[in-house]
Structure 1
Amino acid sequence: MEQESLDYILVPLGLFVLVLYHAWLLFTILRHPTRTVIGLNAESRRQWIFSMMSDPLKNGVLAVQTIRNNIMASTLLATTAITLCSLISVFVSSTSDSTNTASQLVYGNKSPLVYSIKYFTILLCFLVAFLCNVQSIRYYAHCSFLATVPSSAGKKESMEYVARSLNRGSYFWSLGLRAFYVSFPMFLWIFGPIPMLVCCCIMSFVLYFLDTTSSFTRQLHLRSFREDHAESAIP
């Protein structure tokens, strides 16, 4: 097999592995949320909002401090992403002729166009991470105001709206973090399509254990959720 044809076979195969895994993850989150960490965390945040908003005057400081910590985490990732975007742009513009002296250890297509596509995909990953984290900050900041409104105490519709906003902020944070994860195989693509394919397979395998929950964890959370529902039903 010629080296130039490796990129046309192995790179789409690696991307297909990542897309297939995340399609399965999205299906599982929508149909069986308790089997995933994302689904369990979403329900936990919903219960937390209901607990905090039951008495905003008493729990307001704790709620704002907790949401502020999430804002700081999103700000850190957003700053890192936009900084890496700037560094990649400067690097590409200053080394436009470096692709002609590519190492012989790098298999695959070594044309300048392919190298430009490689750097563009990395840049795109960090831009997506930046935009997702900015949206996450937006939702978190909005929740910090809504969670401390005294008039919302005891109103289930208001609590549900705040819980949805908080979960949307967390979903955007997760998407931004996924963009960082995807940037790893895109970075290894610079060294050839073989490291990129291996990284995609290993990352999908590792993410499976990070995204799914064990039976013990599911039972522990479900028991806690049932207890919360039982306590809220007591007049």
Structure 2
Amino acid sequence: MENTAQRAGMGAIGQDPFKNGVLAVQTLRNNIMASTLLATTAITLSSLIGIFANNDSDTKLVFGNKTSLNSSIKRLSISLCFLVAFLCNVQSIRYYAHVSFLITSPALKGKMDFIDYVAKTLSRGSHSWSLGLRAFYVSIPLVLWIYGPIPMFTCCCLTLFILYFLDTTNQITRDLHIKSFKLEETEDTEAA
């Protein structure tokens, strides 16, 4: 549904890029800023975990296996998770910046193949941003894994429960999207 909505939005911008272009560029700027913030946060947290990897203290809050090999595996997995989040967010910045240049191009008006290319590039940026955000979601149970398997398992169950409600749509949302797309199609056929 998101890709269809983005494609419809690109079609609307393609009809009148000068009227709708400013709003599109501002939206893309906001997405670039959000991706930049997440990328900066991810690389900062990855660096902090690298610093804490050298500080191997024995605490009573950790349950389960406390060997240094296990500790290293935990910190490495968290660091890799944050690095994946960083790379995905940097990739989304790249796509969004590319779209922000393409969307203001005068060649956009009336050329459906160009509009489809811009919509695909926007979808790639959105997909990269979503993957980066998912890496942050995965990092939360991994951070709690430092304190043992019970906090990690509890957080995994809670994260799955929350993501189920965030990632699924209900019938009302689907009906709204379908009606809006049908309304746009009838307006386009009437205009032609």
Q: Same fold (TM over 0.5)?
A: yes
1:66, distance to aligned residue in structure 2 (A): 1.2
1:152, distance to aligned residue in structure 2 (A): 2.0
- In structure 2, distance between residues paired with 1:107 and 1:157: 57
Q: TM-score, normalised by structure 1?
A: 0.78
User: Where in structure 1 are there 5+ consecutive unaligned residues?
Assistant: 1-39
Q: Is structure 2 residue 100 aligned with structure 1 residue 139?
A: no
Match of 1:65 in 2: 26
- In structure 2, distance between residues paired with 1:200 and 1:151: 48
Q: Is structure 2 residue 11 aligned with structure 1 residue 54?
A: no
- In structure 2, distance between residues paired with 1:62 and 1:155: 20
Q: Is structure 2 residue 154 aligned with structure 1 residue 193?
A: no
Match of 1:117 in 2: 73
Q: Secondary structure at the match of 1:191?
A: coil
1:108, distance to aligned residue in structure 2 (A): 1.5
Greater RCO structure (CA 8 Å; 6+ sep): 1
- In structure 2, distance between residues paired with 1:110 and 1:102: 9
Q: Is structure 2 residue 171 aligned with structure 1 residue 215?
A: yes
The one-letter amino acid paired with 2:34 is A
Q: Give the alignment partner of residue 75 of structure 1, picking from 19, 30, 36.
A: 36
- In structure 1, distance between residues paired with 2:107 and 2:139: 44
1:225, distance to aligned residue in structure 2 (A): 0.7
Q: TM-score, normalised by structure 2?
A: 0.95
- In structure 1, distance between residues paired with 2:107 and 2:68: 61
The one-letter amino acid paired with 1:57 is F
| Percent identity of equivalent pairs | 60
User: Where in structure 2 are there 5+ consecutive unaligned residues?
Assistant: none
Aligned residues: CA RMSD = 1.1
The one-letter amino acid paired with 1:173 is W
The one-letter amino acid paired with 2:43 is I
